[in-house]
Amino acid sequence: MDLDEDQLLQQALAMSMDQPASSEQQGGGSTSQGGSQQQPQQQAQQQQQQQQQQQQQQQGDSNMFDNVEDEELRKALSMSMQDSEAKDKAKACHTPSLLQWLHWLHDARPRAHTGACRLAFVLCNMDKVNMSVAVIPMAHELGWSALDRGLVSSSFFWGYTATQLPGGYIATKIGGTKVLAAGVALWSFGTLIAPPAAKLGILWLCASRALVGLGEGVAPSAATTVLARLMPSTERARAVSMVWGGLDVGSAVGLLLSGPLIRCFGWPSVFYLFAVLGLLWCCFWPVVKKEDNKELNKIPIESVTTSIDEDGQPVTQEVTSSVQDGNRSVPWHAIFRSAPVWAVTCAHFCFNWGYYTLLAWLPSYFELALGVNVEKSSILTLIPYVAMIGMMPLVGPIADRMVERGMPLTRVRKICQGIAFLGPAACMTAGAGVMSIANPTIIVLVLLMSAAFALSAWSRAGLYCNHQDLSPDFAGAYA
């Protein structure tokens, strides 16, 4: 019995040693045969695990700020984290190809509101530059001195300055579309009565030009309000450069048409034709507004932008696509205490100082300093604006792409505005050196002026976007 028990024990041990080996061989065979079947299952399990980890991470991120008592601070911290995650994703994007650039330019086509605002700005500067060219024959016919010329040219800015703040406040309350329509109607009427006012006396003409300024003074605030409530930050530079580029197109078209019109039909024809175009715009604007309002509330805007808190400091907040009802009060105290607002104001002052001075006096400069006739001076003045228009389609998409790739919004605006300030300053300094020569070359002066205007086009993606970056709801109040 003892021997039999020992034999049985040895046989049991041997069988237990053989079973794992056989199971491994069978398992290996089954793995080799069914490995291709188990791989999709393993991948599916890995994907499920990754999704569960992401959900846990999101839940953890959302619960990170539960201990923060201030609800607004909790929202700001949460949106700041979302913004940083969006930037990380944008940084992973590859370098854009030429086809992508063309696609972005194609996407920059304006919707109805944006296109109508652009056309309004074209008419705005057409009615602004017509006096710059017409003042030359008017001075000869009516016997004006250089002082009278300056008085007529500056009278526009009497009204233009007066309606800047009121226009922004009204646009914030009742909407930019209504304010823009009223502005176009007012400046078109002022342009229409300019010829008979000039026959009555120079003061009457100054009053009509001030009326034009009153109407055009509300246009920037109204258009800014429309775009701020319509466009997300990643598309804002394209929309702004497209709308404000209408000013440069209007300058070019106005200068191009004014010379031949004055030569063929006399200087009053410039005012009559441009005024009729503005009144026609007012007739079609309600149709455009009605059609585009159907799509206004469907625009998906999920970008995080900068706003003004009660302490006057910028904070992050989410931009919604709905049009505000205008019942919210404008935070004037916070606006006037905000350092970013004052920085944008100073930038506007510096840019407009040079832009509008050249806009008003460049044709007269070519005539008085260089001895160029009326028609030729309008053509020479046209060339810099054509250069500016040529730069405009590139500025907006480049700036928006920089934002999409994760570059901070303020850095993008500073880069664009730095180009718009330093580039023209260098060109104008070189132009002053050319003017010190005994016989300055007109071609060199025009080329330097064209380079200055082309580089200044970068401001459309710089300071002109800052109002909407700071606060979309109150952008018109300080535009």
Q: Which residues of 94-116 are buried (b: 16+ CB within 10 A; e: fewer)?
A: eeeeeeeeeebeeebeebbbbbb
Top pLDDT among 97 and 167 is at 167
Rounded mean pLDDT of 387-394? 87
% of the chain beyond a pLDDT of 90: 22
Is the sign of the CA dihedral 395, 396, 400, 403 positive or negative? positive
- pLDDT tier at 136 (50, 70, 90 boundaries)? confident
What is the tens place of the pLDDT at every residue in 73-103? 455 545 544 554 454 444 444 444 445 544 5
What local confidence, expressed as pLDDT, does residue 12 receive? 52
pLDDT at 23: 45
Q: Where are the alpha helices (DSSP H) in 175-267?
A: 176-192, 194-200, 202-217, 219-228, 233-265
- 14 or 385, higher pLDDT: 385
**Helix 339-368 with 112-142: angle, nearest 10 deg:** 40
Banded model confidence at residue 295, pLDDT cuts 50, 70, 90 = very low
Least confident of 42-46, 173-177, 331-335: 42-46
Give the chain's mean pLDDT.
Answer: 74
Domains 109-293 and 334-478 share a fold: yes
* Cα separation, 210 vs 185, whole angstroms: 14
Q: Residue 452 pLDDT more than 90?
A: yes
Choose between 185 and 323: higher pLDDT: 185
CA 395 to chain centre: 10
Share of the chain above pLDDT 70, in %: 64
Which tokens in the block code for residue 117?
């605002």
Model pLDDT, residue 270? 95
Tell me what the mean pLDDT of segment 7-29 comes to.
49
Architecture of the structural domain at 334-478 = Up-down Bundle (1.20)
Over residues 180-219, the pLDDT tens digits come to 999 999 999 999 999 999 999 999 999 999 999 999 999 9
Q: What is the pLDDT of residue 156?
A: 92
- The domain segmentation of the chain, as residue ranges, is 109-293, 334-478
**Residue range 428-452: average pLDDT?**
83
CATH level 3 topology of 109-293: Growth Hormone; Chain: A; (1.20.1250)
